[in-house]
């Protein structure tokens, strides 16, 4: 089968879209299929905050394929890919999750309004004309997809870092290496991620008499202001910021902490870090967002209201009071979310879409 994988980001980029597109392309290739990527490095170019299909990209589509797999949405680019697929008569499967949008970069009502218009018009139209839609969770699909008979739920995949060369093995983890209860955040330091709420909650947990350490892994434009907020709250001695963590640092952080918190305020339809943390035996806590809440509850985690540090603090205090958790690799999570299994589900879907 010839498969075009169209995603504005592709490895070596470390975005969520890049990870999905790269892993799918790699697994399709291992399964013996021919994969043609359409990405920023081949077939599209960045125009400000959006991407557009280039003449090279149109030539890739013109060369022919059995199916086009879109990973998005990426405004302008994915819509152009979909239009080309309709013109060429090539079935297009659209993998869509939460639209990060302008509000990711420019907090405020104007950006949110523009994003809402895009979601309700351009994106909704694209999903109507795609051959099939794929979503990571059911409640997010039911929220945004206009045709209930033309979508499937396929979760995101994770790799097992415990099997990767150079990573700390579970058996090497010693209790005395991290004696204090550890709370972990992993993600971009942007307003929509809600890290400011987590800092406020951490202060409240300490005030309730529950000692802990907070580790924040990630980069973003709010790094300095968040560090300043931590200092203002008197959290400098208990909070650590780590920029651009390597895979080894990320894996080790999962092993040496006890609960992963995803306190997002918007644009979070899955939350892959929840699965990665659960894979390492961590508890998980997230906010009541379509998609992320479904993932957390399936993993046995907790869901709290968005933007409410008191509710988050109460949940975290309960986990700290319960005591430290000995990490253990969750083999069920690993097998359910292994990329070979995820890719096989996509290939089965392509067969149905093509009538095979």
Determine the average pLDDT of the residues in 245-272.
86
Distance between start and end Cα atoms, the chain: 12
Torsion angle defined by CA atoms of residues 106, 133, 345 and 18, in that order, rounded to the nearest 10 degrees: -20
Residues in the chain: 356
Neighbours of 326 (CB within 10 A): 9
CA 329/CA 170 separation, integer angstroms: 7
What pLDDT sits at residue 228?
96
Per-residue pLDDT of 2-54, as tens digits, reads 999 999 989 888 777 888 999 999 999 999 999 999 998 889 998 887 889 99
Among 54, 25, 60, 59, which Cα is nearest to 346's?
Answer: 25
CA 310/CA 335 separation, integer angstroms: 36
Judge contact between 54 and 44, C-beta under 8 A.
Answer: yes
What pLDDT sits at residue 279?
85
What pLDDT sits at residue 99?
62
> Alpha carbon of 157 to those of 126, 128, 215, 275, 339: distances in Å?
25, 26, 24, 9, 5
- Inform me whether the pLDDT recorded for 161 exceeds 80: no
Per-residue pLDDT of 54-109, as tens digits, reads 999 999 999 999 999 999 888 889 889 999 999 999 999 999 876 666 556 666 66
Question: What are the residue ranges spanned by the domains of the chain?
Answer: 2-157+338-353, 161-334
Q: Which CATH superfamily is domain 2-157+338-353 in?
A: Glycogen Phosphorylase B; (3.40.50.2000)
Beta partners for residue 134, in sequence order: 95, 152
Q: Which CATH superfamily is domain 161-334 in?
A: Glycogen Phosphorylase B; (3.40.50.2000)
Residue found by looking up tokens 């947990």 in the block: 205
Q: Which residue has the higher pLDDT, 212 or 279?
A: 212
Beta partners for residue 214, in sequence order: 183, 239
The token pair that represents 254 in the structure block: 């999962």
**At residue 279, what are phi and psi to the nearest 5 degrees?**
-55, -35
Which run of H or of E encompasses 302? strand 302-304
Q: Which residue has the higher pLDDT, 118 or 207?
A: 207
Domains 2-157+338-353 and 161-334 share a fold: yes
Per-residue pLDDT of 310-340, as tens digits, reads 999 999 999 999 887 665 666 777 778 889 9
Q: Which residues contact 190 (CB under 8 A, 6 or more apart)?
A: 104, 105, 220, 221, 222
Q: What is the DSSP string of 23-70?
A: HHHHHHHHTT-EEEEEBTTBBEEEETTEEEE-HHHHHHHHT--SEEEE
User: Poorest-confidence range of 110-124, 233-247, 267-281?
Assistant: 110-124
CA 147/CA 137 separation, integer angstroms: 16
What pLDDT sits at residue 72?
83
Q: Which residue has the higher pLDDT, 214 or 100?
A: 214
The token pair that represents 152 in the structure block: 């499937």
Grouping H, G, I as helix, E, B as strand and the rest as coil, residue 101 is: coil
Work out the burial of residue 120: count CB atoms within 10 Å of its CB; fewer than 13 is exposed, 13-18 middle, 19 or more buried.
exposed
CA 325/CA 180 separation, integer angstroms: 11
Per-residue pLDDT of 164-189, as tens digits, reads 544 555 555 555 455 689 999 999 89
Q: Which long-range contacts (CB under 8 A, 24 or more apart) does 48-53 make?
A: 49/102, 49/105, 50/74, 50/75, 50/76, 50/77, 51/8, 51/75, 51/76, 51/77, 52/76, 52/77, 52/80, 53/77, 53/80, 53/81, 53/84
Per-residue pLDDT of 109-147, as tens digits, reads 666 676 666 666 666 677 777 899 898 888 877 777 656
Helix ranges, 160-271 (H): 195-207, 223-232, 247-256
């Amino acid at each position: 089968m010839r498969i075009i994988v169209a995603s504005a980001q592709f490895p070596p980029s470390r975005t969520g879209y890049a990870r999905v597109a790269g892993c799918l392309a790699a697994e399709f290739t291992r399964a013996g299929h021919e994969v043609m990527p359409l990405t920023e490095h081949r077939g599209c170019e960045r125009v400000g905050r959006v991407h557009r299909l280039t003449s090279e990209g149109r030539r890739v589509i013109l060369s022919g394929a059995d199916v086009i797999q879109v990973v998005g949405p990426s405004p302008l680019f994915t819509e152009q890919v979909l239009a080309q697929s309709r013109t060429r008569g090539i079935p297009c499967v659209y993998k869509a999750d939460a639209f990060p949008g302008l509000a990711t970069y420019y907090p405020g009502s104007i950006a949110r309004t523009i994003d809402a218009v895009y979601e309700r018009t351009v994106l909704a139209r694209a999903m109507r004309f795609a051959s099939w839609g794929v979503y990571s969770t059911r409640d997010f699909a039911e929220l945004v997809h206009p045709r209930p008979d033309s979508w499937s739920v396929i979760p995101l995949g994770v790799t097992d870092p415990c099997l990767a060369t150079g990573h700390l093995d579970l058996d090497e983890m010693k209790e005395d290496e991290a004696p204090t209860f550890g709370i972990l955040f992993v993600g971009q330091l942007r307003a929509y991620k809600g890290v400011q709420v987590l800092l406020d909650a951490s202060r409240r947990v300490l005030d309730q008499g529950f000692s802990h350490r907070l580790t924040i892994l990630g980069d973003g434009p709010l790094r300095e202001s968040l560090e300043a907020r931590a200092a203002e709250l008197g959290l400098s001695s208990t909070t650590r910021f780590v920029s651009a963590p390597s895979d080894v640092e990320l894996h080790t952080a999962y092993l040496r902490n006890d609960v992963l918190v995803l306190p997002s305020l918007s644009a979070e339809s899955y939350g892959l870090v929840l699965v990665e943390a659960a894979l390492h035996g961590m508890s998980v806590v997230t906010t009541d967002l379509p998609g992320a809440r479904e993932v957390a509850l399936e993993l046995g985690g907790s869901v709290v209201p968005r933007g409410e540090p008191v509710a988050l603090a109460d949940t975290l205090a309960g986990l700290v009071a319960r005591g430290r958790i000995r990490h253990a690799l969750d083999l069920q999570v690993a097998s359910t979310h292994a990329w070979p299994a995820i890719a096989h589900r996509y290939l089965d879907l392509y067969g149905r879409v093509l009538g095979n």
